[in-house]
Amino acid sequence: MRKNRPAALTAASFLLLTGAGVAAAPAASAGTPGSTHANDRNSDYNGDGHEDLLVGAPGATVEGHEGAGLVTVQYGSSRGIGTTRVARLSEASTGGDGTPEAGDAFGATVASGDLNSDGYDDAVIAAPGEDVDGQRDAGRVTIFWGTKKGLKPGLSDWIEAEEPRAGERFGTGVAAARFSGATEGDVLAITDRDELDTYTYGDQPHIPAGRIFQRQSSQRLDGPVADGARAAARRVVLPKSLTTGDYDDNGFADLVVSGVTTGDEPGHGWSAYYSGHTEGLTKERELRGGPVAATGDINGDGYDDLVTGEPDSPDDGGETLTGGLVGVRYGSAHGPSPRVEWWSQGSAGVPGAVERGDRWGADLSVDDTDKDGYAELAIGAPGEDVGRVADAGAVWVLRGTPRGLTARGAASWTQNSAGVPGFAEKGDKWGAQVRLADPNRDRRFDLIASAPGENSGDGVAWFLPGTRSGVTASGSWTFGVKTLGVPVSGAAFGTAIDE
């Protein structure tokens, strides 16, 4: 994975910027700041080449304020992640820019990217429950800047909506990638309930904190699609998540805003695909599937592939049960395919059976767990019952091949599986978040799966190593509030894991 851009490249890119006004798309290879493809997305805050793990605990009590929220950062190394090199950051760490208050939910959504293109990834942490200027739940986003020593208290900036409004929940979704040629580094995308804003880092001295980002564009999420043709009946989608990748492999990252419909036919998962190019993001089309989304190259053809999860669909895409549905759209020169491959626990070869309330697809992650060049798909089903234990939860990994996703070799685990620490308990909701990450840089991505409901809502995460044969329970271990020094009682650790 990328990091530490060479000086020569920096100079060349700078010349290009000043000469042409708009930077050309970078070669799609490691070593350039900014990420385009899903597999050069990174979360390396100290620039040592090892991915670091950012986990949100939005329910955590900070300075006596319940639900103010915090995040933990576990720094990667050749030995992977552990519980010793850990940072804890909250609004109390911002040096006065932010103040922890009850219900802020700092850490409810998180993202990473190199926003100031200095070779260190920066952490983007939203507090959608933040009250701003007396506007309840207007929301705010904090950026902790990466350095050689990682993320540091006091080294942060923030962004709020230009006109904060009650209930808008700015920061509902956050993502960072190189969506345009406006900067050398990543562009920050933030949604609230009805708008998508993108921001570029200004790098101008003497600008007050929180104003160093320039809003590059703002568009309504229910706005028109490109060329306006064939726009269906105006569909209002409440956004829930963002994912990025280069679905059309044009050298700029694309964005998918994923959510659920409101209004006449509520509760259906829909996503909007925005293509990235030199100027910025253009809304191309709306796609059935969501409100969960993840990206990676499953069939290894260089075009990123889009995966959506619909854990609570009212119709399961035409099926009769509501156990959850996962959609796969392969990338092409025209972006994610209009053709969708639907998967459920009822698909041939997939372990398990479809049961109402499983919430299969409640979270997804895509990356290569066995280093064969084809990304695997991790799927969480926090509503899965284990025996008679309700909502204990389970996780799956389905393999990627040159022909796409396959059920052959699919695996699933519960907390009762051999080699997995813990016991399946009612309401653990294991698999509420899943993340494939490679902190030891062996190119076999490990599975991190969290249970925010574990231990009466404190939250715990499991680490299952990626090996020559993919993810395995052997050698798995857990970490959580106690081992990472987070105040217990309802911290909901693991509610968000940076993708």
- CB nearer to Ca ion: give 331 or 361: 331
- CB nearer to Ca ion: give 91 or 368: 368
Q: Report in angstroms how near the CB of residue 464 gets to Ca ion at its nearest.
A: 15
Q: Report in angstroms how near the CB of residue 448 gets to Ca ion at its nearest.
A: 15
Residues 91, 137, 305, 358: which binds Ca ion (CB under 5 A)? 305
- CB nearer to Ca ion: give 305 or 363: 305
Quick one: 27 exposed, middle or buried, by C-beta within 10 A (0-12, 13-18, 19+)? exposed
- Region class of 289: left (phi > 0), else alpha (psi between -120 and 50), else beta: left
Residue found under tokens 């969501």: 290
Q: Is 372 in the site for Ca ion (CB under 5 A)?
A: yes
Q: Is 446 in the site for Ca ion (CB under 5 A)?
A: no
Bridge partners, 386 (sequence order):
389
Other C-beta atoms closer than 10 Å to the C-beta of 198 total 25
What is the rounded CA–CA span in Å between residue 419 and residue 475? 7
Number of residues that bind Ca ion (CB under 5 A): 22
For 258, list phi and psi in degrees, rounded to 5.
Answer: -120, 140
Contacts of Ca ion in 318-337 (CB under 5 A): 331
- CB nearer to Ca ion: give 407 or 488: 407
CB 378 within 8 A of CB 410: no
- CB nearer to Ca ion: give 44 or 499: 44
Bridge partners, 283 (sequence order):
274
- CB nearer to Ca ion: give 286 or 368: 368
Q: Is 2 in the site for Ca ion (CB under 5 A)?
A: no
What is the rounded CA–CA span in Å between residue 97 and residue 368? 39
Q: Is 299 in the site for Ca ion (CB under 5 A)?
A: yes
Q: Report in angstroms how near the CB of residue 469 gets to Ca ion at its nearest.
A: 10
What is the rounded CA–CA span in Å between residue 303 and residue 36? 11
The stretch among 17-25, 36-44, 169-177, 232-240 that binds Ca ion (CB under 5 A) is 36-44
Quick one: 321 exposed, middle or buried, by C-beta within 10 A (0-12, 13-18, 19+)? middle
- CB nearer to Ca ion: give 75 or 430: 75
- CB nearer to Ca ion: give 327 or 452: 327
The stretch among 103-111, 274-282, 320-328, 367-375 that binds Ca ion (CB under 5 A) is 367-375
Residues 13, 43, 46, 61: which binds Ca ion (CB under 5 A)? 46
- CB nearer to Ca ion: give 278 or 332: 332
N-to-C CA span, the chain: 14
- CB nearer to Ca ion: give 342 or 445: 445
Q: Is 440 in the site for Ca ion (CB under 5 A)?
A: no
- CB nearer to Ca ion: give 383 or 470: 470
| DSSP H/E element including 436 | strand 433-437
For 46, 266, 378, 387, 401, the CA distances from 395, given in Å and listed in that order, are 30, 28, 7, 15, 20
Q: Is 120 in the site for Ca ion (CB under 5 A)?
A: yes
Q: Is 50 in the site for Ca ion (CB under 5 A)?
A: yes
Q: Is 303 in the site for Ca ion (CB under 5 A)?
A: yes
The stretch among 80-88, 92-100, 140-148, 387-395 that binds Ca ion (CB under 5 A) is 140-148
Of 196, 498, 244, 484, nearest in space to 363 by CA: 498
Q: What is the DSSP string of 185-240?
A: SPEEEEE-SSEEEEEEE---TTPPTT-SEEEEEEEETTSPPTT-TT--S---EEEE
Residues 40, 91, 101, 122: which binds Ca ion (CB under 5 A)? 122
What is the rounded CA–CA span in Å between residue 171 and residue 212? 18
For 26, 233, 410, 456, the CA distances from 427, given in Å and listed in that order, are 46, 39, 25, 9
The stretch among 18-26, 206-214, 238-246, 366-374 that binds Ca ion (CB under 5 A) is 366-374
Q: Is 297 in the site for Ca ion (CB under 5 A)?
A: yes
- CB nearer to Ca ion: give 76 or 164: 76
β-pairing verdict for 376-381 and 86-90: unpaired
Residues 94, 112, 116, 217: which binds Ca ion (CB under 5 A)? 116
Bridge partners, 308 (sequence order):
293, 327
The stretch among 139-147, 227-235, 255-263, 264-272 that binds Ca ion (CB under 5 A) is 139-147
The stretch among 29-37, 343-351, 374-382, 422-430 that binds Ca ion (CB under 5 A) is 374-382
What is the rounded CA–CA span in Å between residue 445 and residue 431? 17
What is the rounded CA–CA span in Å between residue 110 and residue 67? 16
Q: Is 341 in the site for Ca ion (CB under 5 A)?
A: no
The stretch among 146-154, 168-176, 425-433, 451-459 that binds Ca ion (CB under 5 A) is 146-154
Q: Is 247 in the site for Ca ion (CB under 5 A)?
A: no
Q: Is 374 in the site for Ca ion (CB under 5 A)?
A: yes
Residues 56, 80, 113, 146: which binds Ca ion (CB under 5 A)? 146
Contact footprint for Ca ion (CB under 5 A): 44, 46, 48, 50, 52, 76, 114, 116, 118, 120, 122, 146, 297, 299, 301, 303, 305, 331, 368, 370, 372, 374
